[in-house]
Amino acid sequence: MSSFSLILVTIAIAIFVYYLLNLRTRSSRGLPLPPGPKPWPIIGNLPHLGTVPHHSLADMARTYGPLMHLRLGFVDVVVAASASVAAQFLKAHDANFSSRPPNSGAKHIAYNYQDLVFAPYGSRWRMLRKISSVHLFSGKALDEFRHVRQEEVAVLIRAIANEKSKLVNLGQLLNVCTVNALGRVMLGRRVFGDGSGGGDAKADEFKSMVVEVMVLAGVFNIGDFIPALEWLDLQGVAAKMKKLHKRFDAFLTTIVEEHKTNTGGQHKDMLSTLLSLKEVAHDEGEKLTDTEIKALLLNMFTAGTDTSSSTVEWAIAELIRHPKILAQVQQELDSVVGRDRLVGELDLAQLTYLQAVVKETFRLHPSTPLSLPRMAAESCEINGYHIPKGSTLLVNVWAISRDPKQWTNPLEFRPERFLPGSEKAHVDIKGNDFEVIPFGAGRRICAGMSLGLRMVQLLTATLVHAYDWDLPDGLMPEKLNMDEAYGLTLQRAAPLMVHPRPRLSSHVYRASS
């Protein structure tokens, strides 16, 4: 049979299965499916997603309501676009939506579901989650490496000072800082040279690899939704994922193998600890493997770096656009910290307005605008609608945090809404209040939330405290491009290019002897 004939047969089978599924849906009795746009034959609602799916889904929710049903290929997809609906899925029915649906990103990039982020719910996932919670993200672990984060932020501040009047690509320098801070904690060493980031080809390549992961993982791959067409790889996504995985695997394998020979039995970093846990049987007899260790490292160096650096980039952009808010943050920092030293993590608890700025940044620019997908283990009822077994759940975090029913002037950057005595003073961003859930909620909430919060707060506070920021070529702040580039994470469409002007005592910018 020729390849063309094989494609025709594949499409014919896909059409037949599609109509069988439609017949099943039409003939089922009982509760209706949630409302949603009429699907096209075979491909369903995939064309309705557009180039920026979280925007398209938010627009659809205004027509069909905050609980929608889509058919993407042969897959039932339900979308939550309000705080109350999200709470139904992630709180009341959290146990039923604790696993992930099959997807090409997890298969081809994340070591075939052997990482923490995409692992199916079960004993292996519980082992990885427990190891991460105890050894990587516990309060004790975070406090133990506080000095590392502060030292790397100080390196960033000196690197910016050395640029003098040059135009700075802030996002690139932030990425170097977050990767090196994580590298010192995880590996006991920096990943990129001295941390300055100036003209570092390795840093540029690594940043591009991480961004490519997030872009590819954010693609709605036709093969994920029409399995009969998976082998065709119509968008070329699987091929790109496999190629990228080889690059990451080579990077991670080198790190792990070097560590096995160089640690000398000393557990001075997290990777040494993880390697020592390979011989330990956990609660359900599970043991950690080299592949799972590499998959955890992949999670850390992708989800744990780009999300923080891009959020800080959004925060500084918003503050540049709002000079009065920037001045108020700087006034608070000067009052609490003074101008003779850099901000430390222990200062953060006293910086009430700075914390409100960070919350407002997470609200308007959530690092993951569409939650990572979950899957219904069993059929259930939500708000009087039938949610079929095997449905994929997407929570539109971006739309929820801009919902005019929940937020006054939702498109306005206004940190005051989170201050004591204000309408949202009680709202936190740690998964308890569903109006703003940048880290998700429930069992599959982001494992690195505490680290991410500390890093974003420390970086934002230090950059605002240490520098004033001018835009290039006389660009007025209100004209700054705030467009989004869609991927799994929310990148800026145009990198933030700025001229820094030091505002602290000169000795702060010099390396301590």
pLDDT the model gives residue 200: 63
Burial of 384 (0-12, 13-18, 19+ CB in 10 A): exposed
| 5, part of any domain | no
Domain span at 482: 31-509
User: Model confidence at 6, in pLDDT bands (50, 70, 90)?
Assistant: very low
* β-bridge mates for residue 333, sequence order: none
User: Model confidence at 7, in pLDDT bands (50, 70, 90)?
Assistant: very low
| 449, part of any domain | yes
Residue holding tokens 């427990």?
130
Higher pLDDT, 10 or 282: 282
Q: Which two tokens stand for residue 98?
A: 């604790």
* C-beta of residue 361 within 8 angstroms of C-beta of residue 379: no
Residue holding tokens 């037949």?
16
DSSP characters over 382-430: ETTEEE-TTPEEEEBHHHHTT-TTTSSSTTS--GGGGSTTSTTTT--SS
| 13, part of any domain | no
Instruction: List CB contacts of 363: < 8 A, sequence separation 6 or more.
Output: 401, 402, 407, 429, 436, 438
Q: Would the pLDDT of 14 be above 70? A: no
| 18, part of any domain | no
| 421, part of any domain | yes
pLDDT the model gives residue 3: 47
Return mean pLDDT, the chain. Answer: 89
3-class secondary-structure state, position 68: strand
Query: What Cα–Cα distance (Å) separates residue 179 from each residue in 312, 348, 386?
Result: 14, 22, 44
CATH of the domain at 411: 1.10.630.10
User: Could you tell me the sign of the dihedral formed by the alpha carbons of 313, 315, 321, 327, in that order?
Assistant: negative
- Full-model pTM: 0.91
| Exposure string over 251-266, b if 16+ CB within 10 A, otherwise e | bbeebbeebeeebeee
Q: State how far the Cα of 367 lies from the Cα of 436, in Å rounded to an integer.
A: 12
| 17, part of any domain | no
Ramachandran angles phi, psi of 58, nearest 5°: -65, -40
Dump pLDDT digits (tens) for 421-472: 999 999 999 999 999 999 999 999 999 999 999 999 999 999 999 999 999 9
User: Model confidence at 198, in pLDDT bands (50, 70, 90)?
Assistant: low
User: Could you tell me the sign of the dihedral formed by the alpha carbons of 330, 498, 341, 347, in that order?
Assistant: positive
What's the number of domains the chain is made of? Answer: 1
- 177 assigned to a ligand binding site: no
Dump pLDDT digits (tens) for 460-497: 999 999 999 999 998 999 999 999 987 778 889 999 99
Q: Would the pLDDT of 350 be above 90? A: yes
- Least confident stretch, 299-308, 338-347, 406-415: 299-308
User: Model confidence at 381, in pLDDT bands (50, 70, 90)?
Assistant: very high
Read off the pLDDT of each residue in 399-413 and give the average, rounded to a whole number.
97
3-class secondary-structure state, position 110: coil
* β-bridge mates for residue 469, sequence order: 500
Q: State how far the Cα of 424 lies from the Cα of 400, in Å rounded to an integer.
A: 14
Higher pLDDT, 18 or 163: 163
| 503, part of any domain | yes
| 25, part of any domain | no
